[in-house]
Amino acid sequence: MLDAFLSWTMVETGIRFATPILLAALGGYLCQRAGVFNIGLEGTMLSGAFAAVAASFATHSWALGILGGVLGGVFAAAIFALFVVSLRTDEIVTGLTVNILAVGMTTYLLRAVFGVQGRFASDQIVMVPPLGLPLDWIPGIGSFLSSTSILVYLALVAAIVINVYMRYLPGGVRLQAVGEAPAALAASGLPIARTKWLAILVSGGLCGLAGTYLTIGELGQYVDNVTAGRGYIAIAAFVFGGRGVGGVVLAAFLFGLVDSLAIRTQGLGLPSNLAFTLPYIAAIAAITVVGARSRRVSRA
C-alpha cells in the first residue's frame, strides 16, 4: 500500500493536477501583491477553458486554442478590473459575480454555439501536444517529462518569470507597493490604478492558461463547470504560499498531490465523495493556518 502512495505515478498525477492550480494561483498572487483579493479566479479560469475549446475547434490549431484561452481569461479579468479598480466596487462581491457569470455564460454559450448540453466533444478539437524534451533516460519520471503537455512547462516558466520580475525588476517593488503602501507610489507620481489593471489582466491570462490546460491540455473536450472548484483551491494556494513565488509553487504542488491522493484512495475502496472533499479540506486547513498566523501578527 505504501508503495502505491509513493509511486512515481502519484507524483506525475500530482504535477498534472497542480498545473492549473499553480497557473491560477500565480494570477491570484500577482493580484494580491497589487492589493486586490481576486476571488474570481474560478470564473476567469472557466471562461478561459471555454474559449480555448472554442478557438481550438474553430481554427484546428492548438496554438490558437491557447491564445483563445488566454483571451477568454483576460476578458473575464477585464470585467473584474473594470468594476473593482475603475468603479471601486467591493472585490469579494465582484469576484463572486464573475464566478457566477462565468458558469451562466459558458452554459449558455455551449448550447447557443455548439448546440449541446453538459459537454462538447469533437475530433476537430486539437489538443496541445507534449513539449517532447529528450528526457526519457531519467529513471522513474523521465517518460512523463518527455510526454507531458507544453502547458505544464509553461506554468513552470510563468512561475520563474514572475519570481524574477518580483525580485529583480523595479516593477516588482512597485507592484508590491501598490498593495502595501499605495501612498508611496502616489508620492513618486506612479500610477496606481493602471498597475492594478495590469496585474489583474495578467492574472486573467494565467487563469486562461489554467482553463486551457484543463480542456485542450488534458480532457480534449469541454465539460460544464470543468474547473470544479480549482479556482478556489488556487486561492488557498497563494494565501498559503505567502510572500514568495516559491511558496506558491510548493503549495500548488501539495494541493495537486492531495488531489492525486484522492484518486488513489478511490482505488482503495474509500467512498469517492470523501475523496473529492480532500482538496477542499486541505484548502480550509490552509486558510485556518494562515488566519491563525495573521491574527498573531496583527495582535502584536
Q: Where do contacts with another protein occur on this chain (CB under 8 A)?
A: 168-170, 172-174, 176-177, 180-181, 183-190, 296-297, 299-300
Using the minimum distance from each CB to another protein, give the nearer residue, 104 or 171: 171
User: Cα–Cα distance between 224 and 50 in angstroms, integer?
Assistant: 9
CA–centroid distance for 202 within its chain: 12
Smallest distance from another protein to CB 180, Å: 5
Residue 272 and residue 266 in contact, taking contact as beta carbons nearer than 8 Å: yes
| All residues at 6 or more sequence positions from 293 whose CB lies less than 8 Å from its CB, including other chains | none
Using the minimum distance from each CB to another protein, give the nearer residue, 174 or 196: 174
Instruction: Give which of 172, 176, 200, 240 is closest to 21, Cα–Cα.
Output: 240
Smallest distance from another protein to CB 293, Å: 13
Using the minimum distance from each CB to another protein, give the nearer residue, 37 or 165: 165
Smallest distance from another protein to CB 297, Å: 8
Using the minimum distance from each CB to another protein, give the nearer residue, 182 or 220: 182
Smallest distance from another protein to CB 77, Å: 25
What are the angstrom distances between the C-alpha of 119 and each of 47, 116, 223, 227? 15, 7, 4, 13
Smallest distance from another protein to CB 22, Å: 24
| All residues at 6 or more sequence positions from 266 whose CB lies less than 8 Å from its CB, including other chains | 272, 275
Residue 216 and residue 65 in contact, taking contact as beta carbons nearer than 8 Å: yes
Using the minimum distance from each CB to another protein, give the nearer residue, 273 or 298: 298
